[in-house]
Structures are given as structure tokens and as C-alpha cells.
Amino acid sequence: MSTSSTPLTERTTWKALEEHYQKTHELHLRRLFAEDPQRGEHFALEAVGLYLDYSKNRLTTETLKLLLELAETSGLRERIEAMFGGEKINVTEKRAVLHVALRTPKGTSIVVEGENVVPEVHAVLDKMADFANRVRSGEWRGYTGKPIRNVVNIGIGGSDLGPVMAYEALKYYSDRNLTVRFVSNIDGTDFVEATHDLDAAETLFIISSKTFTTLETMTNARSARQWCLQTLGDDQAVAKHFVAVSTNAQEVTKFGIDTTNMFGFWDWVGGRYSYDSAIGLSLMLAIGPDHYHEMLAGFHAMDEHFRTAPFERNLPVLLALIGLWYNNFYGAETVAILPYDHYLGKFSAYLQQLDMESNGKHVNLEGNPVNYQTGPIIWGQPGTNGQHAFYQLIHQGTKLIPCDFIGFCQSLNPIGVHHDLLMANLFAQTEALAFGKTAEEVKADGVPDFQIQHRVFEGNRPTNTILATRLTPETLGKLVALYEHKVFVQGTIWNINSFDQWGVELGKVLAGQIVPELQGTTDSKFAQDSSTNTLIERYRQIRNATS
């Protein structure tokens, strides 16, 4: 059997999967369910409190066998151990990848460069908890002596998407006396709208940036300081109204935040894997340290499951392999994430960065172009809103869109029949997507002939369903870790570096060149291409026009 040293598409298992695809891709889920009346139970897995039904996928036991073989021959076991063992698997940045250390219980050991990092992690968690308790209890006061009622997190990408997603997801558990907002966009509107009704004397800004150099965040942070000082008038106020979360103490000091008010993390935490580091401070302020620790326990439970469960009973591995099946053999370009819980409104946006920044890569670990598809496009909206917007295309369009449906058996807000109706819709969608409706069935409903073809549902559209009991902090931790590890498994099989993001650099450099051209502070004629130069010229002409 050829292994990870053989290029992916030349491996025996890859070729066997190609052949298998040719033989099976026309198989309909209707037939697969008819042939195995217990398929719904056979192709399901429960682990760490999450139930995954993957029966409504276009696969057989043979498909799974081959996919699992692919995982084995990709060196996945060794890669998992390498990640958990603190090896520098982020080879282009020469960094370990240890978000799993952020949720490791006290007393355990994960060694990076000869040092156990777990005590440091818990020291920061304790410092966060102490601070959160002081703010929440009113002991920490603003410059004028008023308690803090508003928390504004300023950050972008991984320093925003995780905290804002988790804050929304866990709002039910949050202190409703605190107003918590998130500013990320460099568009001044974001800052202005987030602060227009806030009293600076009662507002705490958390400047969250791993590097503390990100243009958007630093620009918003400077505007926040100005906004604060406009009301409070004294530079001394900064110490009471600004804290920083960063790995860069030097830049934090330069900005004027005392490092006693800084919460650190480490270069072995990638931005998009960082919300359970100190980057989650805004979340901890909202939900309190106890709930935060419950969330970490959820992450850790999934980490342990991922590390120890056999691949055929391993939730992240199965999700990854199923995704890869559609991505690389069916040519599916996207994956829809469809949570049937209003609190998970930002979950797919969060997964967009997690997955697309990690696996949107065109070269392999050795720097050679890949000859296969890597990361999919991730998108989605919470149910049932999406049903009245884009589900038409999923049901009857020409594209294959594998979907993950996520639902909870108990509502946090059980009023009337809402939850049964919500869940009925979730189940109905997966059923309709899988089984569709034939022309005969449509005709039997008495539909006029001219409409029949328009009302046919081909079905055979694949879905996973993930069910949990309730949306708790612990469950959220499990769900996020599930997708983190799914992304890791796929990246491992594709032999790419899921932990760098060089693709965001070029735009930043060009923006840096264009700023002085827009501001007229450069003498040289615009140095861009003719399209960009014309746009710049036009912008400059119109920007200051009075009418």
C-alpha cells in the first residue's frame, strides 16, 4: 500500500477511490436506504454528547473503508501526535500548533521547546478570571469612579470572529447588565455605530490583536482612545478604560497600555484558533469565568476524543473524510453550514475563517503546486431563514452542495410550539434533500402536466446532521473543536499547511502603497496598474467634491 511519501493522487487508495466514484456516483440515496432499512442507525455515531447522522450521504461501507484507508496512508495518526506533542508542524512559520493546550486541564503537561506551557495557560486564565470578576462585580471602576457597563472588543479576523460568534452563541448565559459590542471593520461606521450611545466613563475597550500591528485594529484602537479622551479628558483614563490581549508586549506598551493590563498568549496559537485563549476575554466578561471553563472542558473533551478514538468512530475524522469525498471526487466547491439555532447566527461566518484561511492553499508542504482541490468555500445562515432564501438552489439547482445541519433537542427559550416547528423543518429539509420527489409522485398529487418537471426534486443531495441536547458553553466548545480538527484532518490529507495565511499579505502591502496615493502625500505618480490608477484618480476627484 502506498503511503504519504507517494503523491496523493498517485496513491493506490486515491486511485481506488476514483474508480469507486465512477462505479457508485449515480447510486441514489433512495436505493441505499431501501437496501439497508437500518441505514439511519448504521451510519450514525454518538461521541462526547454529539450525535452525527451521516447516513444521508452518497457513500457505502466500501466508500468509508477506502476513505479511512486514505486517512491511514496519509500519516494522520503521526500528524495528530505531532500536533498534540508540540512539534513545529506550521513549517513555513516554524511554529508549534497548540490550540489544544489552551483547554488542557491544570496539572497536565505539554512541552514546547523544553517548557511545559500548561501552567502559563492557566496563569493567564486565572488573571482573566480575576479581571472579569472585578469588572462584573463593579469593583473595577472607570476613571470617574463609575462601574463598567459596556465592553467593546476591538479586533479583526481571529481576534473578532471567535469572540463575537461565541458571545452571540452563549448570550443566554451572559450578564444582561453588560453591553458587549465588537468593532472590527476599518470602516469608521463600525466604530461610530458601536459607540454612539455609550458613555465613555462606563466603557471598557479590549484591544485584541495577536500582533498588535493590524491596520484595522490599530486604527480603531486609536479612534477609541480619542473618543474616550474627548469625554474623560485625561491620558490617565486610558489605564482604566483600555486593556490589551496580545502576544506583543512591546507594541502594547507603545500604544500606551500598561502591560499589567495586558493578557498574553503565544505564537503557537494561530489567530483563527485563538478564541479560547485570552482573545476570549470579552466572552469571559459576558458569561463569567465558570461558564468559560465549562466551554474549555467541552473543547478538551472533543480534543481527547479526536486524539484517542479509532478513525471509524472519530467525529472530526468522519466529517473530514465525507467532506473530502465530495470535494475531491464529486467536484463540490462549497459546503453549507446550517445551524438550526438562532444563537448560532455567526457560526458559519466563524467557520469561514477557520476553514478557508486554513485550507485555501495552492501548494503542498514542500511548496509544490497541488494537482487536486483543497479547501472548500464555506457559507451558510441559521435555519429557518435560509429556507426562504437560498435553499431553492440547494434543492433544485445544478450544483452539488453538501450541507451540515446542526440542531438541539432542547430549546433554551421554549415558548409554545416554536422548537418542534424549528426541528421539524431541520429534519424535513434533510429528508427532502436526500429523497426528493419523483415526477410520478408529483403527478400523483394532481399537479398539472406543464408544472410537473418544475416541481420534481431529484434528491440525492447529501447532508450531515449533528444533534446535541442543548446549546451550552460545553456543547459550543465541542462543536468548535469538532470543526477545528476536521479542518486539520483535511489539511493533513491534502498535505498542505493549514496554519499559515500568506494569501492575506499581498493586499495589505498594496493598501500600504495606495494610502499615500489617496492622501496626496506622495509626489510620485500613482504606481499601480491603469485600472487601479484610474480608480484612485476618480476617488480623489470626487472625495472632496461639494455636490
C-beta atoms surrounding 95 within 10 Å: 18
Which amino acid appears at position 274 of this protein? Answer: S
Binding residue for ligand F6P, selected from 86, 142, 157, 407, defined by CB under 6 A: 157
Out of 158, 376, 407, 462, the residue judged to bind ligand F6P by CB under 6 A: 158
Q: Is 508 a catalytic residue?
A: yes
For 513, the 3-state DSSP assignment is: helix
Q: Which of 13, 57, 60, 217 is close enough to bind ligand F6P by CB under 6 A?
A: 217
Does 74 help bind ligand F6P (rule: CB under 6 A)? no
Q: The C-alpha cell of 66 is what?
A: 477506502
Choices 33-41, 86-94, 152-160, 378-386 (CB under 6 A): range interacting with ligand F6P = 152-160
Task: List alpha helices for 309-448, DSSP H.
Answer: 315-324, 347-352, 358-359, 391-396, 418-435, 439-444
SS3 245: strand
Determine the Cα–Cα distance for residues 152 and 169; give it in Å rounded to an integer: 17
Residue 394 has φ and ψ, to the nearest 5°, of -65, -40
Q: Residue 454 is placed in which grid cell?
A: 418544475
Nearer to ligand F6P, 74 or 159 (CB): 159
- Which residue's CB is nearer to ligand F6P, number 284 or number 466? 284
In the bound state with ligand F6P, the residue whose beta carbon lies nearer, of 160 and 517, is 160
**Nearest-10 crossing angle of helices 473-494, 289-308:** 40
Residue placing its CB nearer to ligand F6P in the complex, 207 or 335: 207
Q: Quote the CA–CA distance of 81 and 306 in Å, as a whole number.
A: 11
Number of residues that bind ligand F6P (CB under 6 A): 14
Cell numbers at 333, concatenated: 466547491
- Among residues 210, 225, 241, 300, the one that binds ligand F6P under rule CB under 6 A: 210
**What is the SS3 string spanning 126-162?**
HHHHHHHHHHHHCCCECCCCCECCEEEEECCHHHCHH
Nearest to 17 by CA among 88, 61, 83, 66: 66
Give least dist CB 407 to ligand F6P, A.
29
Distance CA 205, CA 518 (A): 30
Select the residue interacting with ligand F6P from 90, 153, 159, 464 (CB under 6 A): 159
In whole angstroms, the minimum distance from the beta carbon of 206 to ligand F6P comes to 12
In this chain, which stretch among 45-53, 204-212, 333-341, 532-540 interacts with ligand F6P, using CB under 6 A? 204-212
β-sheet bridge partners, residue 243 = 206
Q: Which is nearer to ligand F6P, 11 or 99 (CB)?
A: 99
CB of residue 164 vs ligand F6P: minimum separation in angstroms?
13
Looking at the Cβ atoms of 217 and 460, the one nearer to ligand F6P is 217
In this structure, what C-alpha cell is assigned to residue 429? 429539509
Distance, CA of 455 to CA of 82 (rounded, Å): 52
Please report how many Cα atoms fall inside a 13 Å half-sphere around the Cα of residue 478, on the Cβ side: 25
Q: How many residues in total does the chain contain? A: 547
Which of these is catalytic: 94, 388, 454, 525? 388
Instruction: Please select the residue that binds ligand F6P; options are 271, 380, 386, 459, rule is CB under 6 A.
Output: 271
In this complex, which beta carbon is closest to ligand F6P, that of residue 272 or of residue 346?
272
Sole binder of ligand F6P in the list 74, 150, 184, 209 (CB under 6 A): 209
**Cβ closest to ligand F6P, residue 205 vs residue 391:** 205
- In whole angstroms, the minimum distance from the beta carbon of 264 to ligand F6P comes to 13
Between 318 and 496, CB nearer to ligand F6P: 496
| Integer Cα distance of 317 and 89 in angstroms | 19
- 3-state percent helix, strand, coil for the chain, nearest multiple of 5: 55, 10, 35
537 is an active site residue: no
> Which of the following is catalytic: 25, 106, 254, 508?
508
Q: Which part of the chain contacts ligand F6P (CB under 6 A), choosing from 3-11, 51-59, 97-105, 205-213?
A: 205-213
In the block, cell 484517542 appears at 308
Closest contact distance (angstroms) between CB of 184 and ligand F6P is 9
Q: Which of the residues 483 through 522 are near ligand F6P (CB under 6 A)?
A: 501, 504
Look up residue 148 and give its three cell numbers: 463598567
Task: Evaluate whether 475 touches 298 at the Cβ level (below 8 Å).
Answer: yes
Among 117, 128, 152, 156, binds ligand F6P (CB under 6 A): 156
Stretch that binds ligand F6P, among 198-206, 210-218, 289-297, 476-484 (CB under 6 A): 210-218
Task: Determine the Cα–Cα distance for residues 381 and 378; give it in Å rounded to an integer.
Answer: 11
Positive/negative CA dihedral, 499, 382, 165, 212: positive
| 240 touching ligand F6P, by CB under 6 A | no
Does the annotation mark 56 as catalytic? no
Nearer to ligand F6P, 217 or 328 (CB): 217
> Residue type at 370?
V
Whether 177 contacts 149, CB under 8 Å = yes
Q: Which of 216, 357, 474, 517 is the catalytic position?
A: 357
211 binds ligand F6P (CB under 6 A): yes
Q: Which of 272, 305, 361, 395 binds ligand F6P (CB under 6 A)?
A: 272
Pick the stretch among 81-89, 100-108, 153-161, 491-499 that binds ligand F6P (CB under 6 A).
Answer: 153-161
How is residue 172 annotated by DSSP? Answer: G
Find the part of the chain contacting ligand F6P (CB under 6 A) among 3-11, 150-158, 395-403, 419-427: 150-158
Interface positions, 328-367, toward ligand F6P (CB under 6 A)? 357
Q: How far from 70 is each of 9, 73, 119, 325, CA to CA, in Å?
A: 11, 5, 37, 11
State the residues that interact with ligand F6P by CB under 6 A.
156-159, 209-211, 214, 217, 271-272, 357, 501, 504
The residues annotated as belonging to the active site are 357, 388, 508
